[in-house]
Amino acid sequence: MMLKDKVAVIYGAGGAIGGAVARAFASDGAMLFLTGHELAPVEAVAKDIVSAGGSADAADVDALDEQAVDRHLQSVIDKAGRVDISFNAVGIPDTTILGVPLIELDVEHFSLPIASYTRSYFLTARLAARRMVPNKSGVIMRVTASHSRTGIPLVGGYGPAQAAMEALTRGLSAELAPHGIRVVGLRPQAMPESATIKEAFEPRAEASGMTWEQWLKMLASRTHPRRLMTLEEMANVAVFVASDKASGITGTIVNLTMGSLDD
Ligand SMILES: NC(=O)c1ccc[n+]([C@@H]2O[C@H](COP(=O)([O-])OP(=O)(O)OC[C@H]3O[C@@H](n4cnc5c(N)ncnc54)[C@H](OP(=O)(O)O)[C@@H]3O)[C@@H](O)[C@H]2O)c1
């Protein structure tokens, strides 16, 4: 029970990563406030957690809307008295961005993921930090991707968006760690159980003349254990990082690429 009685807010909790992290946080004893811009998938995760004996509240919150995020955090404080963990797993839809060569991409589509990802992370982190500072305690987390650190074709502004969020993680930590708040990123590689991976990588697989299965094998071959990470493995790391056992980790991104990306 590494997160016993910790109050955690998850953004994008109806998604693959948000849902897996929610379930793992709950089984380690956290009290969960799950959000997404559509209520039904978030409610489904909350229902599973509650049927398994955990504590989870579901709400529809657009993580790009400052007032909505602020109102929801206030409701968490009203119900639970504090917020200990903020986990942003929001994935901005990018089907119109991925697969287009940079020289053919218009500036609006290039800028969209950069503006959206950084806006959502900035808002959720800043508004949570304002509630954490008086308690001199808290953990802020965000998922990024290996695109932040390596050149990958046909991903438009997605790579710059990931790099910007990693830079923001370091900046937030530099300002917040003196107030007892840790800020840590998690950088998993593709986890095949998540539907978004197919959406993100299929255009590149097609452009390389590979089937989807061949593409997954190629990605796995680049890792040290020659396999891709599971959602459960990623979520287990998230539990540790969110817990007091990880009190020495802040201002960094945990590399979960299993060797496919050097530190
Ligand atoms: N899956 C992987 O293997 C992997 C690996 C590395 C990095 N990542 C990154 O991790 C993030 C999450 O990935 P995922 O696979 O979990 O994606 P996902 O399954 O699509 O989940 C993303 C969630 O964010 C929600 N969302 C979108 N816009 C929102 C908004 N404005 N406000 C609140 N919620 C919003 C989505 O809701 P709707 O579905 O209703 O739009 C969805 O529930 C993405 O940034 C992805 O690029 C994923």
Q: Which of 146, 194, 237 to mutate to test the pocket of ligand 1 (most atoms within 8 A of CB)?
A: 194
Would you give per-residue pLDDT tens digits along the chain (263 residues)?
999 999 999 999 999 999 999 999 999 999 999 999 999 999 999 999 999 999 999 999 999 999 999 999 999 999 999 999 999 999 987 777 888 899 999 999 999 999 999 999 999 999 999 999 999 999 999 999 999 999 988 889 999 999 999 999 999 999 999 999 999 999 999 999 998 888 778 877 888 899 999 999 999 999 999 999 999 999 999 999 999 999 999 999 999 999 999 88
Q: Is the CB of 159 inside a 6 Å radius of any atom of ligand 1?
A: no
211 Cα to the center of ligand 1, angstroms: 24
What angle do the packed helices 107-132 and 158-176 form, to 10 degrees? 20
- Nearest ligand 1 atom to the CA of 192 is 3
Sorted by sequence, the CB contacts under 8 Å of residue 41 that are 6+ apart come out as 14, 15, 19
Sorted by sequence, the CB contacts under 8 Å of residue 229 that are 6+ apart come out as 188, 189, 191, 256, 258
Sorted by sequence, the CB contacts under 8 Å of residue 202 that are 6+ apart come out as 212, 215
Sorted by sequence, the CB contacts under 8 Å of residue 104 that are 6+ apart come out as none
Beta bridge partners of 185: 142, 253
134 Cα to the center of ligand 1, angstroms: 30
178 Cα to the center of ligand 1, angstroms: 31
pLDDT digits (tens, 9 = 90+) for 16-35: 999 999 999 999 999 999 99
Q: Is the CB of 219 inside a 6 Å radius of any atom of ligand 1?
A: no
